[in-house]
Structure 1
Amino acid sequence: MSTLEVHGARLYYETHGSGPLMVVISGAPGVADVYRAVVQHLGEHHTVAVYDRRGFSRSRLDGPQDYDRRLETDADDVERLIKHLGLGPAIVFGASSGATVALELLVRHPSVVRTLIPYEPPALRLLPDGGKWADFFSEVYDVYRREGIEPAMKTFRERTFAPSDQQHMARAPRNDANAAYWFEHELRQYPPVALDLTALAAHADRIVPAAGRASQGYPCYQAAVGLARYLAKDVVELPGGHIGFVTDASRFAAELARLLAGTMF
C-alpha cells in the first residue's frame, strides 16, 4: 500500500509492471479496483499507476475541500502523482468522469502528459441535447435524495448505458459511502462542465478519443464523437460498452495495448 499526501487528502495508489508510465483514472466509483482485470495485461509493457480519487475508499480527506474547484483539484492530484512517481510524462487513460479529469489535466498541466486517452467522457456540452441530459442527471439526484441509492442508480443506468453495462452494474457490489460521495459531488457537477476546448485543440496531437463499441447511441459515446469532431480526429472504438474494461477486460486490455503501441509519441 502506498499513499501520497496532497492538499486536503491522502491518495492511495498502486503501481504494477514496468516500462513507460501509464496513469489510469477511474470514474464512478472512483477506485483503482475497477481496473484490476486490465492492469496485469497493461503492466507487461508499462508501469501502470492506479489510484483511488480523493474522497473515495482509501484516499481519505484530511482537510477542508473546495468543492467549487473539485475538478481542478482532481486534475492537480494526478499531476502530483505523476511527478511523485518520477517517470513522466505519462500516458493517461481516464474513463467516464475520469476522462473529464484527464482532459482537465491536459489543460492545466500539459507537461506531464505524453498521450491522453479520454474514454467516454460525460461531457454534455458536446451533445446537441446536452441540456436534456443535465436535467435527467438532476432528476436522478432527486431520486437519490428521496428514495435512496439503489433506486437512483437503477434510474441512472437504465437510461444512460448499454445493456451489457447495465447487467454488470446491477450485480456489482456497492460501496454506499462512495456512491453517496459521487451523488453529492460529481453526478450533477462534472457532466455539464465547460471544458477548455481551445486549449485541448492546441494539444490535439496527444489526444486519442475513445469509446466502447457497445455504447453507440448512448450519451457518453456521443460525447466522445463530439470531442473527436472538435479535434478533427476519429473515435477509437474498444470492446464492450462504458465499462468494457470490466465486462470485456481481456479483449479491452489487448486492444488498448495495441493502440498504445501505435500512439506513443
Structure 2
Amino acid sequence: MTSVHTLEASGVRLHYEIRGKGPLLLVMGAPMGAGAFAPLADALAGDHTVVTHDPRGISGSVLDDPEQDSTPELRADDAAALLDALGAESADVFGSSGGAVTGLALVARHPGRVRTLVAHEPPLLELLPDAAEQRAKVEDLVATFHREGLEAAWKKFMAGAGFDDGDDGAPAAAPQEPSLQDLANSARFFGHELRATSLYRADIDALKSGPTRVEVGIGADSGGLETVRTSTALADLLGRPPVEFPGDHGGFIGHPAEFAEVLRKTLSGA
C-alpha cells in the first residue's frame, strides 16, 4: 500500500510517497521523480519503509518560482525537510544519477542525517581529468536547448553521455510519445537543473570524515557511459571499490527485484 503526501518546504510543495514497513530508506533521483522508482520501492517495501518523492520543479512538486534553478544543495535541504516531516533523525539513502548528487550534498550539508548513502552513477563531471571540456559540453547542451529545443538537446545529450538508442537509463525520461508533463520535466532538466547538478563539486573531505558510510554504485551494463568514469573517480577518492548493480544507468527500471537485492546487501554492509 502506498500513501501519498505533500510537504510545504522552502519555496516548493513537495510530493512524496511512502511504502512498506521497517528501517527508513529515502530513494531519490533528479530529475527522475517518484514514478520512475515505484517498481524498486515496491520490491523494497517488504522490509523497509521506502520514501520516494518528485524533486523540486518536477511533476507533482510545484515551485513557488518556476524559474528557480534546481541545485543539489536545495534538493538536499528538501530531503532533510522530508526527514523532519517523517520525524526521523536519520535514514539510509539511495540516489541515482542526479539523485546521487543530491545524496552527496545531503551528507555534506546535514551531517549525521544519513546512515548509509548508496550513490548510483552520479554525473560528477568536475572529477574528470577533462573537466574543462566537460563544462563546455554542458554549456553547449543548455544553449542547444534554448536555441533548438528539446529534441535537439536530447539527441546531443544521449550521444555525449554514451547512451545507445535502446537504453532506458537516461537521467530523465525521453519517451517516444511524451506527455505534456514529460515535456515540462525535460525542459526543467535542460533549462534549470543540468548545469548545477553535473558541475557540482563534491566535498570529498566531508564525505570521508563524517559519520555516513558512502558507497558508489555502477551498473554492470553501463559500459562506456560518462557516469562510469565519474563514479569510478569518486570511488577512488573515497578509497572504496564501487558496488556493481544489475543493468545500466537505469538498472532499477529494468531489473527492480535484482537491483533491490543488491541494494539490501549494500545497505547491510554484506
Give the TM-score taking structure 1 as reference length.
0.91
Residue 10 (1) aligns with residue 17 (2)? no
**Aligned-pair CA distance for 1:260:** 2.2
**Structure 1 residue matching 2:267: 3-state secondary structure:** helix
* 2:158–2:164 CA contact under 8 A, matched in 1: no
8 Å CA contact 1:3–1:12 kept in 2: the answer is yes
Q: Does 1:126 align with 2:133?
A: no
Contact 2:20–2:48 under 8 Å retained in 1: yes
TM superposition shift of 1:220: 0.8
Q: Which moved more, 1:155-164 or 1:53-62?
A: 155-164
Please name the residue that 1:57 is paired with.
59
Change (3 A) 1:167 1:178: closer
Residue 42 (str. 1) matches residue 44 (str. 2):
yes
CA distance in 2, matches of 1:36, 1:167: 15
**Does the alignment pair 1:153 with 2:154?**
yes
State how far apart, in whole Å, the 1-side matches of 2:41 and 2:219 are: 18
Q: In the superposition, relative to structure 1, how do residues 81 and 144 fare at CA in structure 2: closer, same or farther (>3 Å)?
A: same
Task: Assess if the C-alpha contact under 8 Å between 1:16 and 1:47 holds in 2.
Answer: yes
User: Any conservation in 2 of the 1:162–1:241 contact (CA below 8 Å)?
Assistant: no
Q: Structure 1 194/2 Cα, relative in aligned 2: closer, same or farther at 3 Å? A: same
Contact persistence 1:89–1:114 (CA under 8 A): yes
The residue aligned with 2:113 is 112
Please say which of residues 235-244 and 172-181 is displaced more in the overlay. Answer: 172-181
1:121 is aligned with what amino acid? Answer: P
Question: Offset at 1:71?
Answer: 2.5
1:20 corresponds to: 23
Aligned partners of 1:52 and 1:58 also within 8 Å: yes
| Residue of structure 1 equivalent to 2:268 | 261
In 2, Cα distance between equivalents of 1:96 and 1:26: 6
Map Cα deviations across residues 97-138 of structure 1 (whole Å, 9 max, x no partner).
Answer: 111111000001122111001111111111112222222222
Contact 1:125 1:193 in 2 (8 A): yes
Could you say what secondary structure the match of 1:24 adopts? strand
Alpha-carbon offset, residue 66 of structure 1: 6.0
2:196 partner SS: coil
AA aligned opposite 1:55: G
Deviation at 1:70, TM superposition (A): 3.0
Count of aligned residue pairs for this structure pair: 261
Q: Find the counterpart in structure 2 of residue 227 from structure 1.
A: 234
The structure with more helix, counted as a fraction of residues: 1
Residue 118 of structure 2 aligns to a residue whose secondary structure is strand
2:193 maps to amino acid: E
In structure 2, list runs of 5 or more residues that go unmatched: none
Change (3 A) 1:54 1:228: same
Change (3 A) 1:173 1:100: farther
Contact 2:115-2:212 within 8 A present in 1 as well: no
Task: Give the 3 Å change call, closer, same or farther, for CA 205–105 of structure 1 in structure 2.
Answer: closer
- 1:227–1:177: structure 2 CA closer, same or farther, 3 Å change rule? same
- Unaligned runs of at least 5 residues, structure 1: none
Residue of structure 2 in register with 1:91 after alignment = 92
1:241 Cα deviation after fit: 1.1
Is the contact made by 2:168 and 2:250 (CA closer than 8 Å) also made in structure 1?
no
Secondary structure (helix, strand or coil) at the match of 1:152 reads helix
**Percent identical residues:** 36
Instruction: Say if 2:112 and 2:212, in contact at 8 Å, map to a contact too.
Output: no
